[in-house]
């Protein structure tokens, strides 16, 4: 068995080295005789160095601080409270619907006292004015208003009188009570502030 075969079988990790070619030079040349031996020694040294186990990487220290987790959530800013829509002030009134209000206003003195403007714009016809009757207007303090300030609509029919309700463009409502074919006629004007309120009374009787 040649030296190359021993190295190959005894050290499997060694690379296969080519056998030296037979030389045709003078066998008595000492340089030519030592060259194959030198090559084999060099190949053996390289092979042995290649069979050494590769150094293992040192394990990371157990107490190495773990990287702080990166938060991907965006910072949340508390949203400003959304203001609720303002409630309709008239919803707090006892009778926000005018037709219902008028029915109660006519027969409840207590409601008339709390639902009449102070002062109340009042007008009447001065039949003794010269040279002819004229309309007189005045602001009457609530303390001097005589109650009831308006007749009960439910009693008009029995008295042979009529009532007409007119809604004005500005939101006010006029209630006219009259006796047909006479000058007996009164007009009551109501406004929503925010509850319904009697703001003007006109007596056109002569």
Q: Is residue 175 exposed (0-12), middle (13-18) or buried (19+ Cβ within 10 Å)? A: buried
Q: State residue 34's pLDDT score.
A: 57
- What would the two tokens of residue 68 be? 């702080």
| Residue in the structure block whose two tokens are 């030519």 | 32
> What's the pLDDT score for residue 106?
95
d(CA 178, CA 202): 12
Question: The whole model's pTM is what?
Answer: 0.57
Band (pLDDT 50/70/90 cuts) for residue 46 is: low
Asked whether the beta carbons of 120 and 139 are under 8 A apart, the reply is yes
pLDDT in tens, 117-152: 999 999 999 988 889 999 999 999 999 999 999 999
Q: Considering the chain, what percentage of its residues have pLDDT values greater than 90?
A: 53
Peptide bond into 194 cis (omega under 30): yes
Question: Higher confidence at residue 94 or residue 41?
Answer: 94
Q: Which CATH class is domain 90-203?
A: alpha beta
What is the structure's pLDDT at 83? Answer: 39
* Domain ranges within the chain, ordered by starting residue: 3-21+31-49, 90-203
């Amino acid at each position: 068995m040649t030296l190359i075969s021993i190295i190959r079988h005894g050290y499997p990790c060694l690379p296969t080295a080519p056998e030296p070619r037979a030389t045709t030079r003078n066998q008595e040349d000492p340089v030519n005789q030592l060259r194959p031996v030198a090559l084999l020694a060099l190949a053996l040294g390289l092979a042995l160095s290649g069979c050494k186990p590769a150094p293992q990487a040192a394990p990371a220290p157990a107490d190495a601080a773990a990287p702080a987790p990166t938060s991907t959530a965006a910072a949340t800013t508390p949203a400003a409270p959304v203001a609720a829509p303002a409630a309709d002030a008239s919803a707090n009134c006892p009778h926000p619907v005018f037709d219902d209000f008028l029915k109660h206003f006519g027969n409840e003195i207590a409601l008339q006292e709390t639902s009449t403007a102070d002062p109340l714009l009042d007008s009447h016809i001065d039949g003794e004015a010269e040279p002819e009757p004229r309309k007189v207007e005045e602001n009457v303090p609530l303390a001097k208003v005589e109650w009831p300030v308006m007749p009960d609509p439910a009693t008009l029919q029995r008295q042979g009188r009529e009532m007409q309700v007119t809604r004005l463009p500005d939101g006010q409502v006029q209630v006219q009570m009259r006796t047909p074919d006479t000058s007996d006629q009164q007009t009551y004007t109501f406004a929503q502030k925010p509850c319904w309120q009697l703001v003007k009374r006109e007596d056109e009787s002569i």
